[in-house]
Amino acid sequence: MAEDKKNDENFQYIVRIASKDIKGERPVRLALADIRGVGDRLASILVKKFDLNPEQKIGELSEDKILEIRGYVEDKEYKDLPVWLLNHRNDIATGKNFNVLSNDLDLQINDDINLMKKMRSYRGVRHETGHKVRGQKTRSNGRHGLSMGVIRKREEGKK
């Protein structure tokens, strides 16, 4: 009973990482995956990196451990992780590999799209015109506006 009381005193119901409030009742792996820009795979790797139990609640972690995780996650460059795991590789200005989070991710995506539009690349033109960008077929899918349906030609003899 005394142990439960002690754990309740140290339990954090809201943990703030990368300008995101995370419920303390969430398991560590799922709580880290809730951050925009950190997926399930990156969250699993972070749990292994910090030697955490993935089923442990994030609110049960010590303040020092949370600060250590926050400092690592909020740092853009993860030098000890493979490049394919990051969400913004080969930055146009610097050539470095970053993992961008939350609001910065939205800004970075918009900047990249605007740059593609400005340089008139194929992808930029497709973004401008509102078409599919990644090579999907457009004959029957992705239509916008009023749908026409199927129109049959009338036969010559019948009117």
Q: How many CB atoms lie within 10 A of CB 84?
A: 7
Q: What is the pLDDT of residue 147?
A: 63
108 in a structural domain: yes
- Non-local CB neighbours of 116 within 8 Å, separated by 6+ positions: 123, 124, 127
The full length of the chain comes to 159
| Number of domains comprising the chain | 2
Query: How many Cα atoms occupy the beta-carbon half-sphere of 154 within 13 Å?
Result: 4
| 76, 93: one domain | no
Question: How much is the pLDDT for 5?
Answer: 45
Tell me the β-bridge partners of 20: 17
Both 67 and 102 in a single domain? no
Question: Same structural domain for residues 42 and 101?
Answer: no
Do 73 and 12 share a structural domain?
A: yes
Same domain, residue pair 72 and 36: yes
* Lookup: tokens for 67: 């600060």
Average pLDDT over residues 112-125: 96
User: Does this model's pTM top 0.85?
Assistant: no
Give residue 149's pLDDT band: very low, low, confident or very high (50, 70, 90). Answer: low
> Which structural domain, as residue segments, surrounds residue 50?
2-80
Domain boundary residue, one of 63, 80, 97: 80
Count CB atoms within 10 A of the CB of residue 58.
25
CA distance linking residue 30 with residue 146, whole number of Å = 41
Q: Which two tokens stand for residue 150?
A: 């199927």
Say yes or no: 76 and 116 in one domain.
no
- In this structure, the answer to whether residues 48 and 65 fall within a common structural domain is yes
Decide if 140 is inside a domain.
no
Secondary element (H or E) of residue 44: helix 40-49
Please tell me whether residues 70 and 92 are part of one structural domain. no
Q: Are 77 and 97 in contact (CB under 8 A)?
A: yes
